[in-house]
Structure 1
Amino acid sequence: MRPCTPVSLCLAAAALLPAAPPAHAAPGLGACAAPDDRRFPLTTRIHGGPDSYEAGGGYGVWYLDLTNTTTRTCADIHPVVVLVDSRHALTPAQPRLEFYDGTRPQPHPVHFETTDEDELVGAFDDGFPGFTVGPRKTVTVKVRLTLTSEAAPNEVTADAAVVQRRGDDGDWVGQSNDYVFRIHNDASPTPGPTGTGTGTTPPSRAPRLPFADELARTGLGTPGAALAAAAVLVTGGALLLARRQRRRR
């Protein structure tokens, strides 16, 4: 399977999803496997979001497309959103992110945690059993985001890893494009421009961490091994690995 990058995003995906009791999946609801090891089975795309948010203002709506490129049903799918801000000033309490699962009118909250890499990471969980994406089908997840009035002027990049949870483990099955947006706050000076919010990944943008090949060699089907290898290479990995181990005890 194609490596998940950046490594810290993959570490966070495994660490933030709480362990679930092993389930006896129905036929056709097993592992979501791509035709080759160079592609993820789920094509993942963020689109439709505004280029800017006013701190203390209303919600901006965007969408996350999960497209199953395989002939098998992919169940128990959990996106994990990562926010990286250029000023390293965004705190977990400032972004208010919610998602809709299509089964109830009220959205689920996404709770963020901070990694040692100054990223905010939040899983689409909240007791939610996960999305199911049929063969060659697309599930579009409605997401809304607002920033509290304490958020400073900033530029933020949002992207998502997608995890298929399997009992107390999981596989990385998708990774989105970047969604870049600005935070405005009339009460604070605005930093100089560093880019625009296009909702796409610039072709020249390199992964934030350079260890994707090392992670791929550990085997993405065994997240425990991937976590152990990446923790040696990534500053924030030890913290996330420790969290995962504590939750398994």
Structure 2
Amino acid sequence: MLAAERRDHLLALLAREGKIVAKDVAADLGISEDSVRRDLRDLAAEGLCQRVYGGALPVSPAVVDYTARQTVTPDGKRKVAATAAALVRPGNALILDGGTTALAVAYALPADLACTVITHSPTVAVALLDRPRVEVFLLGGRVFKHSAVACGAAAVEAAQNISADLCLLGVTGVHPQAGLTTGDAEEAAMKRALAARAAETYILASSEKIGTASRFRVLPWEKISGLITDTDPRHAVVEQLTARGVEVLTAD
């Protein structure tokens, strides 16, 4: 089989099965695992898959820049945001992550809701300026432009001095085996720091992120209260998560 044919085979397998196991592909095609791994390295370099131990997973489309992400499944993000906003009770202290879905949550909060929002996202803070009953605390640090949020040591230290009832956290990938992931190590560390300061943490994940993975793990499944997604409950990944005890809130 030519290299181009192997490439097409791998991409078709990834789309059909949601994963590639290198040793299985090597056995099926009668080639070495090294050949498969080289092919996966090439595909990963083009942003077409996320390499993991033993193979590869679908790459998250949420790794593109912040402006481009605003055009990715906007209806799904609004549905997720509306369901997430309904979890916020009057008087709550809410930690609200950055990113396009979190920004949609800010806009989805009821206009008359009295609460405190703690965020490391300048865009989220600005979106709440016209909410007279929302007290906004903005955590500072180095701005990670991909998600328009503050990260780094200063931001993590600031996060360690807060407490909240609820944390609404975005990720770029949701996968039963790879877990909850994002594409930047410092952003992943910041998300962990925020989640650690809330009584409950829910993950915001519109459908394009389900079944995909990025490079850095954010949290293990047992550290979250639930997942909010607009994905069909009959989706194979959602069914796997439900079977392992993850609370999945369906946004519709």
TM bracket (short chain): under 0.3
Higher relative contact order (CA 8 A, sep 6+): 1
The structure with more strand, counted as a fraction of residues:
1
Question: What TM-score, normalized to structure 1?
Answer: 0.26
Which entry has the higher C-alpha Rg, 1 or 2?
2
